[in-house]
Amino acid sequence: MVTTATAAVVHEPQGTFTLQQVELDDLRPDEVLVRNQASGICHTDLVAQRMMTLPAVMGHEGAGVVEAVGRSVQRVRPGDRVIVSYPWCGACPQCMEGKPYYCSEHMPLGFGGTRLDGSGTMKHNGSQLSGAFFQQSSFATHSITPERDVVPVRDDCAAERLAALPCGVQTGAGSILNTFRVGARDSLVVFGAGGVGLSAVMAARLVGAAPLVVVDIIPERLELALELGATHVLDARNGPVAEQISEILPQGADYTYETSGNEQALEDAIASLKTGGQCGIVIAPHFGEKYPFSPTEVFKRAACLRGIIQGSSVPNTFLPRLLELNRAGRFPYERLIRTYAFEDINQAVEDFNVGRAIKPVLLMS
């Protein structure tokens, strides 16, 4: 079995990534060693650094080939192509009910930097790294991950398409199809035309949602939103957004979806709901910060304000569904992807931060 890997290590919050050789721990009986072919870059990879013990190896959208398996692994074997999705414990009431996205251990599994028992999966020069981010740390040539977190896929899909799926795209599409269960002619306003927001747009188009409004400040992204299915786009710089939305939806929207992490956007998302409408939130400006908004605005609309984790998706069924829709030309999320060589990770992060890349994906091989 491979015992070392090349990993992109970050030593301080929002610091530069440095490629370093790391040592891999032995596989546990229920674990899989994945040779990563690609990894998506997500907003969480950047903001979560302030929650982690550093140095750390980030990355939580891995895709690659199984190289080795623990003795108890049954679902995959060496040579299988897999996506590595979000972690779940498999033992809490929510996991046992088939809702792994509500796993009671999702915070330590995602952000603890170790296995749930506190042991590490990566070391550098004998010192433990936070090398189990989302139980994978996919900014590396190899990852150790629990069997339950891998999704077997067909061999005929490009690695960058696989690695773009397991967080942002899954969250955006799943929020529409699984959490909200938006239907034909339901109205939806999406705040933020990034990877999550535009994935929501594509999913909403699938089910015939209309009007389908997208709010952003980048003209090129608003144009892309129209191409992907939006019926209306609004530039937030052109005046009060809630007023612009009310001209399109005088009675308010059935659903609003805040993906930008902007405080004003949340206020506008709540203000733009119809009576009994739902507002979904998938991001905050920074972990731990508070949103200032008026509960009265929620109350007087009898609105539902809900946080959404991973689009309420069960990856083993939902990700193959999205891949089939993509093959059929009905969910063209490849239009969001921009690829980078692994060694160009810092350029990819810079492009992502300034809006040049919607969904950057690192290619390891």
Domain boundaries, given as residue ranges, for the chain: 4-152+332-363, 172-310
Distance CA 107, CA 149 (A): 15
Q: What is the CATH number of domain 172-310?
A: 3.40.50.720
What pLDDT is recorded for position 278? 96
What pLDDT is recorded for position 288? 66
Q: What are phi and psi of 280, to 5 degrees?
A: -105, 140
Tell me: domain 4-152+332-363, CATH 3.90.180.10, correct? yes
What pLDDT is recorded for position 286? 63
Per-residue pLDDT of the chain (365 residues; tens, 9 = 90+): 779 999 999 999 999 999 999 999 999 999 999 999 999 999 999 999 998 999 999 999 999 999 999 999 999 999 999 999 999 999 999 999 999 999 999 999 999 999 999 999 999 999 999 999 999 999 999 999 999 999 999 999 999 999 999 999 999 999 999 999 999 999 999 999 999 999 999 999 999 999 999 999 999 999 999 999 999 999 999 999 999 999 999 999 999 999 998 889 999 999 999 999 999 999 765 666 777 777 888 888 888 999 999 999 999 999 999 999 999 999 999 999 999 999 999 999 999 999 999 999 999 97
Q: Which residues contact 242 (CB under 8 A, 6 or more apart)?
A: 267, 268, 271, 272
Distance CA 75, CA 342 (A): 29
327: enclosing H helix or E strand: helix 315-327
What pLDDT is recorded for position 365? 79
Distance CA 310, CA 12 (A): 27
298: enclosing H helix or E strand: helix 295-299
Instruction: Identify the residue whose tokens are 């927001």.
Output: 197
201 is written with which tokens?
A: 């747009």
Terminus-to-terminus CA distance in the chain, angstroms?
A: 19
Coil/strand/helix, residue 137? coil
168: enclosing H helix or E strand: none
pTM, rounded to two decimals: 0.96
Q: How far is CA 18 from each of CA 12, 124, 200, 267, rounded to the nearest angstrom?
A: 11, 12, 33, 39
